A and B are shown apart, each in its own frame.
Chain A
Amino acid sequence: MTLNQVDISKRKAPVWAWIVLGFAGLVLGVGSALSLSNGALGGSKMAVGQWSSDPLVGAKAANPWLRARIARVGLLALSKEETLYFDRTVDEAGNPLREECRYQLSGQPIATRWWSLTIYAKDQFLPRNTDGATSIDATRALPTGSTNWTGMISAARPTQGENWMSSKAAGDFSITLRLYNPSTVAPEELAKMDFPKVTLVDCTGAQTEVSR
């Protein structure tokens, strides 16, 4: 018995064990890289309310992980001096944005040359519908002289109001706020700005929530 144990301990691992562990390591390594680059890491450095932005987006000094993430979820972004990109996936209460729900939008002028809101489905593309309502921008939301605006996000066209983004076929979605030629890129100054608010109105379907 003792002799057998000595023999086993000296025996080399079988080739199949090396292959299995090597393959498992390969899957783990590639999978973790793809997962992190798809946004699993989060890692936003700047937040304004529920909006968040990574100031390194578009920067040449961006680390390999951030650069990989940008390549997957925001390819061909501009530097922050040219454009700031803020994203959100939750409403004002911190709950995920969902196609089944209606959301009230409200905002004021932002100190930037031009801004826009765009809705994206989970696959990072515009929701695949034919409503022709994938964005709201400063020129439409705030005609000359306006000091505030309201709008709606819903799967069905609202009966009134022109500032509408359709969430039809969006599933769990996100919104991107683009600020072109912002007056400042300093986080402490941006934090003082009034970015658009996204407030839950109600939800329908199987995952109905109480309106609030």
Chain B
Amino acid sequence: MARFWKLILFGLVVAVFAHVATTMMLPSAIMSIALKRIAQTAGGTNQLFHAQRVTPQNQTIVRPSPDLAYSTCALDLTKGPVRVFIGKGTDYASAAFYSANTDNVTTLSDKKIGPDGANLIVVTPGQNADAIAGERIITLPSNKGLMLVRRLAPSASDFERVTRERSGDRCGAASALQK
């Protein structure tokens, strides 16, 4: 009888371990896949990509909003900081930064973007930001992450306007992209 309960206990211990391990790893695993896809679409990491209007035919991430114009930059800080510029738009816009475990580290809302746009430099805690005057420092807790820019564009004409507004946005390695 003790042999039976030992087996059951063993099964339960494995179940608990597998449950916790899966739960802990799931966000990072999903984010890793998302980052890989986003980087591939953009032609590499630290490259800004302006997505087309979201439709049922081109959606790639769960629960997209068809009323928003999305721009993405898969961040890779292993070789140094990344420099970002977000231009001011006429309507709602935000630049959200996510770490490798999906945490929304910080969000820069358009209310905090001046008329000349916002200059940012993204670093890890151990990196020297070497920020230029006026540049805001965004610290990611991980080497990998994502910047997701949302701009309100509920109609086709709004989307055309946003396409013009975001044409000046930038995301790239700080060593290659000066302010």
Residues of A bordering B, CB below 8 Å: 9, 11-13, 17-18, 21-22, 24-26, 28-30, 32-34, 36-37, 58-60, 64-65, 67-68, 70-79, 82, 113-114, 116, 118, 120, 124-130, 132, 134-135, 137, 139-140, 176, 178, 180-181
Contacts of B22 in A (CB 8 A): 29-30, 33-34, 68
CB contact between A25 and one of B12, B57, B67, B111 (< 8 Å): that residue = B12
A24 to B55, CA, bound (A): 41
Contacts of A11 in B (CB 8 A): 3
Q: Find out whether the CB atom of A76 lies under 8 angstroms from the CB atom of B146.
A: yes
- Interface residues of B, count at CB 8 A: 55
**Cβ-based interface call for B102 (8 A):** yes
Taken residue by residue from 105 to 120, chain B's Cβ proximity to chain A (1 for < 8 Å, 0 otherwise) reads as 1010101000000000
Within 8 A of A (CB), among B1-26: 1-3, 6-8, 10-24, 26
**Cβ-based interface call for B61 (8 A):** yes
Contacts of B126 in A (CB 8 A): none
Q: Find out whether the CB atom of A72 lies under 8 angstroms from the CB atom of B26.
A: yes
What distance in Å separates the Cβ of A80 from its nearest Cβ neighbour in chain B? 10
**Cβ-based interface call for B34 (8 A):** yes
Taken residue by residue from 21 to 58, chain B's Cβ proximity to chain A (1 for < 8 Å, 0 otherwise) reads as 11110110011001000000000000000000011110
Residues of B bordering A, CB below 8 Å: 1-3, 6-8, 10-24, 26-27, 30-31, 34, 54-57, 59, 61-67, 92, 94, 96, 98, 101-105, 107, 109, 111, 146, 148, 152, 154-155
A29 to B19, CA, bound (A): 4
What distance in Å separates the Cβ of B76 from its nearest Cβ neighbour in chain A? 17
Given A68-B26, A116-B154, A28:B92 Cβ within 8 A: no
Residue of B nearest to A29 (CB): B18
A75 to B8, CA, bound (A): 36
Contacts of A76 in B (CB 8 A): 34, 61, 96, 98, 102, 104, 146, 148
Knowing that A71-B27, A72-B26, A76-B34 are A-B contacts, what are 18 other residue pairs whose CB atoms are under 8 Å apart, sorted by A's residue number? A12-B3, A13-B6, A24-B11, A25-B11, A28-B18, A29-B15, A29-B17, A67-B103, A70-B27, A71-B31, A75-B31, A114-B92, A116-B67, A120-B63, A126-B54, A126-B59, A130-B57, A134-B66
Q: Find out whether the CB atom of A29 lies under 8 angstroms from the CB atom of B14.
A: yes
7 A-B pairs within 8 Å (CB atoms) are namely A25-B10, A67-B103, A74-B62, A124-B63, A130-B57, A135-B67, A137-B67
A125 to B60, CA, bound (A): 9
Q: Which 6 A-B pairs have the closest CB atoms?
A: A29-B18, A25-B14, A33-B22, A21-B11, A25-B15, A29-B19
Q: Find out whether the CB atom of A79 lies under 8 angstroms from the CB atom of B104.
A: yes
A75 to B56, CA, bound (A): 17
Contacts of A64 in B (CB 8 A): 20, 23-24
Residue of A nearest to B30 (CB): A71
